[in-house]
Amino acid sequence: MKPTTFLLAMGAFALTVLATPVFASDSARMVPRTEVSDARPVMLAAIQATDGEAHAILTGDVANAITQRFGATSPIFIDVTTERRYQQPGCSRLKVMFWQDGVLLPGAKAPRKQTMEFGINYCLDGLPPKSLL
């Protein structure tokens, strides 16, 4: 399985099964966001960004299916922040967060914001770093 397909599948799984509510300000929506069909370009942008951050909106068939399935009231947002830059050029520890408002999970009484967050060691070449120093 390709790394981008894996990340997208993991995101879809986590949004439906492992999601937990998190409350964030509306200012999170105000940052400039590009549209992407998977998280990889956002992760690469965060590695290259001076401030170590990148933001996007997930689009495409999978995003549409998730949004429709849960009757969500917002698109799926992606926020990536750099937690650590490694000595190996172009390699970082990233925190990747997918979130969406108005998600109605099976058995829930009301829709709410759902998030899925994970950490990953990632390099510009798509591979993990050779060293964590």
pLDDT digits (tens, 9 = 90+) for 17-35: 333 333 344 555 578 899 9
The answer to whether residue 131 is domain-embedded is no
* Relative orientation angle of helices 61-69 and 3-13, to the nearest 10 degrees: 10
Residue 31: predicted pLDDT: 85
Structural domain for 75, as ranges: 3-21+31-120
pLDDT in tens, the chain (133 residues): 455 444 444 444 444 333 333 334 455 557 889 999 999 999 999 999 999 999 999 999 999 999 999 999 999 999 999 999 999 999 999 999 999 999 999 999 999 999 999 999 999 999 999 999 9
The answer to whether residue 125 is domain-embedded is no
Distance of alpha carbon 51 from the chain centroid: 17
What is d(CA 12, CA 55) in angstroms, rounded to the nearest whole number? 18
Q: How many residues does the chain have?
A: 133
The answer to whether residue 73 is domain-embedded is yes
Of 66, 44, 64, nearest to 56 (Cα)? 44
> Is the overall model pTM greater than 0.85, yes or no?
no
Are the C-beta atoms of 122 and 94 separated by less than 8 Å? yes
The answer to whether residue 86 is domain-embedded is yes
The answer to whether residue 106 is domain-embedded is yes
The answer to whether residue 82 is domain-embedded is yes
**Cross-strand partners of 36:** 58
Residue 2: predicted pLDDT: 53
The answer to whether residue 133 is domain-embedded is no
The answer to whether residue 68 is domain-embedded is yes
> Which amino acid type is present at position 120?
I
Residue 5: predicted pLDDT: 46
Distance of alpha carbon 35 from the chain centroid: 12
Residue 108: predicted pLDDT: 93
How many independent structural domains does the chain possess? Answer: 1
